Chains A and B, each alone.
Chain A
Amino acid sequence: TGFYGGNAIVGGGLPLAVGTALADKMRKKQSITCCFFGDGAVAEGEFHECMNLASLWHLPVLFACENNLYAMGTRIDRAQSQTDLTKKAAAYDMAAAAVDGMDVVAVEAAARKAADAVRAGQGPYFLECRTYRFRAHSMYDPELYRSKAEVEDWKQRDPIKTLSRQLQDENLLQEADLAGMEREVASEIEQAVAFAEAGAWEPLADLTRFVYSEKEGS
């Protein structure tokens, strides 16, 4: 598998991405690593260490930063001396670009360009997708740090709605097709939830499994 999961320590996944890219480079594989993180991670020391190391070693990593303006409840201008994040990449002599993260087509084009550059052996690439989080950070978040009007403004730019509208305007998508796709997605989610709810809890005997690798045959 090529999907290595997420990381509950903000910024903690970046060094792993540097490592997988290093392994691919050392073994002369054509693969690239793509690492996703948010604007909050940019404040971590690990971000800066990894930007430096990836650039220094010319590693095949695409750093995809989803800048949604808030690290939990702290707005970016209350946390960053420089809010144009691409400038930080530039400081590490790394190719960088920003894209309107609310525009699906623009993100696709920018991501393709970035991935192609990395694949072509041009070293790491930093892509900042400027976007927004509509929902609260978590179910415990009362959202005291931003106004409802601000959230509503951003919702007008909802990327899925915008793309649907554009496709319909250009007659590439019919209302019925869209409804069908939405039904399909809803049904897939329902089936996944039903599968999970019907599953058995893991036995207590498994509590200490996978602390260390299990020997073959055991």
Chain B
Amino acid sequence: MSDTTAATEITYRDAVREAIRAAMLADERVFLMGEDVGKYGGCYAVSKGLLEEFGPERIRDTPLSESSFVGAGIGAAMRGMRPIVEIMTVNFSLLALDQIMNNAATILHMSGGQFNIPLVIRTATGGGRQVAAQHSHSLEGWYAHIPGIRVITPATIPDARWMLDTALQDPDPVLIFENAGLYNMKGTLPADGGPVDIDRARIHRPGRDITIITYGIGVWKSLEAAETMAQDGIEAEVIDLRTLRPLDQDTFLGSVSRTHRAVVVDEGWRSGSISAEISARIMENAFYALDAPVERVCGVEVPAPYAKHLEQASLPQPETIVTTVQRMVASRG
């Protein structure tokens, strides 16, 4: 992110709030609904102040009934509105999975193209905050399994600010996964920002020796690992996928063709994960470009532990990324 004089320093939380606010000012069909988005100001304070600004018709507090309010978002979208539904955390999205999978993702197809669902669902994802196994899921890769929806994972301040705009322009359902560990992150929002594409991954840090493919909070852990390794002369390229469905494989395949090594960093569980999908695509499309097998640094396959030292050990860390990359680069033949 380049500093300009007019750029502002804000948190990821403020960037998301500004995105919602701007969308509501620009289009009266846009409204926000979810648990505690109004009076409380949002579980993570994302929507703080919006009830006062826009009123209870457009900032709608809902009961704790995920299936009905997510389904109501789908119905409202079918009937001309542009709802932003906030599911407080991804853990509760499972209570609305029927609506997401069986309605949002299928109605366009089952109606032969008659009914599209311009719905945006925002939800907080991720672990690492000692809230144990029922509040720490990273299920974005799991949702990326479903054809008919888009899955996006803003990692940076500009993406937190601008991806929502693009999502609201999309004629189909878009799920936005905001890693709860990023809400307090401060960063620069360039003054000349504008709508971003949500079709492509971004090379966040160029490097020649290995490609680290990641998304969300994994971007920041990977960048930290890359800086550590740079001191030893290993230059890692860090790719922020940004969108998990559809996957922009051209960007990471192009990178692997230059670096000849790839590691996927994903906080989700390893088996059947988005990291497995990425690894398979590299094998299918860039096998002969590889100097070493693809490796993965993933969440350990346990329900998220409560104890801090155990939880931290269950998640990818900059140290584990460094160790993995060093081993891969040492195998240079």
Contact partner of B72 among A53, A209, A212, CB < 8 A? A53
Stretch at the interface among B41-49, B106-114, B128-136, B274-282: B106-114
Contact partner of A7 among B69, B81, B103, B114, CB < 8 A? B103
Stretch at the interface among A11-19, A67-75, A125-133, A186-194: A11-19
Task: Given A23-B75, A23-B79, A27-B81, decide whether A213 and B68 contact each other with a Cβ distance below 8 A.
Answer: no
Chain A residues whose C-beta falls within 8 Å of the C-beta of B83 in the assembled complex = 19
Give Cα A14–Cα B78 distance, bound, in whole angstroms.
14
Give the distance to chain B from A42, nearest Cβ to Cβ, in Å. Answer: 15
Give the distance to chain B from A181, nearest Cβ to Cβ, in Å. Answer: 31
> Which B residues, 84 to 137, have Cβ-Cβ distances below 8 Å to chain A?
98-99, 102-103, 107-116
Stretch at the interface among A43-51, A94-102, A104-112, A151-159: A43-51
B292 at the interface (CB under 8 A from A): no
What range describes how many residues of A lie at the interface?
A: 20 to 34
B207 at the interface (CB under 8 A from A): no
Contact in complex: B109, A15 (CB < 8 Å): no
B194 at the interface (CB under 8 A from A): no
The CB with the most chain B CB atoms within 10 A, among A16, A22, A24, A56, is that of: A16
Contact in complex: A19, B67 (CB < 8 Å): no
The proximity string for A residues 44-88 relative to B, scoring 1 for CB distances below 8 Å and 0 otherwise, is: 011001101100110000000000000000000000000000000
- The number of chain B residues with a CB under 8 A from chain A is 41
Contact partner of B71 among A16, A26, A56, CB < 8 A? A16
The CB with the most chain A CB atoms within 10 A, among B71, B111, B147, is that of: B71
Contact in complex: B77, A19 (CB < 8 Å): yes
Contact partner of B78 among A4, A9, A53, A211, CB < 8 A? A4
Contact in complex: B172, A22 (CB < 8 Å): no
Contact in complex: B102, A9 (CB < 8 Å): yes
Stretch at the interface among B13-21, B57-65, B157-165, B255-263: B57-65
* Beta-carbon nearest neighbor of A8 in chain B: B102
Contact in complex: A50, B68 (CB < 8 Å): yes
Give Cα A46–Cα B57 distance, bound, in whole angstroms.
23
Contact in complex: A53, B69 (CB < 8 Å): yes
Task: Given A26-B57, A211-B147, decide whether A19 and B113 contact each other with a Cβ distance below 8 A.
Answer: no
Contact in complex: B63, A213 (CB < 8 Å): no
Task: Given A49-B68, A212-B108, decide whether A15 and B113 contact each other with a Cβ distance below 8 A.
Answer: no
Give Cα A26–Cα B245 distance, bound, in whole angstroms.
32
Contact in complex: B68, A212 (CB < 8 Å): no
For the residues of A in contact with B, the DSSP-based class is helix
Chain B residues whose C-beta falls within 8 Å of the C-beta of A21 in the assembled complex = 75
B215 at the interface (CB under 8 A from A): no
Chain B residues whose C-beta falls within 8 Å of the C-beta of A23 in the assembled complex = 75-76, 78-81
Contact partner of B68 among A5, A8, A53, A210, CB < 8 A? A53
Contact in complex: B67, A46 (CB < 8 Å): yes
* Beta-carbon nearest neighbor of B95 in chain A: A45
Contact in complex: B112, A210 (CB < 8 Å): yes
B171 at the interface (CB under 8 A from A): yes
The CB with the most chain B CB atoms within 10 A, among A26, A52, A213, is that of: A26
Chain A residues whose C-beta falls within 8 Å of the C-beta of B150 in the assembled complex = 212
Chain A residues whose C-beta falls within 8 Å of the C-beta of B103 in the assembled complex = 7, 12, 15-16
* Beta-carbon nearest neighbor of B114 in chain A: A1
* Beta-carbon nearest neighbor of A47 in chain B: B68
Give Cα A7–Cα B171 distance, bound, in whole angstroms.
21
Give Cα A209–Cα B108 distance, bound, in whole angstroms.
9
Contact in complex: B81, A15 (CB < 8 Å): no
Give Cα A116–Cα B112 distance, bound, in whole angstroms.
33
Give Cα A4–Cα B77 distance, bound, in whole angstroms.
12
Give the distance to chain B from A25, nearest Cβ to Cβ, in Å. Answer: 9
B154 at the interface (CB under 8 A from A): no
Contact in complex: B172, A212 (CB < 8 Å): yes
Give Cα A213–Cα B150 distance, bound, in whole angstroms.
12
Q: Which 3 A-B pairs have the closest CB atoms?
A: A19-B75, A15-B71, A49-B68
Residues of A within 8 A of B (CB): 1, 4-5, 7-9, 12, 14-24, 26-27, 45-46, 49-50, 52-53, 56-57, 209-214
Q: List 20 A-B contacts (CB under 8 A).
A: A4-B75, A5-B107, A8-B102, A9-B98, A15-B72, A15-B74, A15-B99, A16-B72, A19-B75, A23-B75, A23-B76, A27-B81, A46-B67, A49-B63, A50-B68, A50-B71, A210-B109, A210-B113, A213-B116, A214-B113
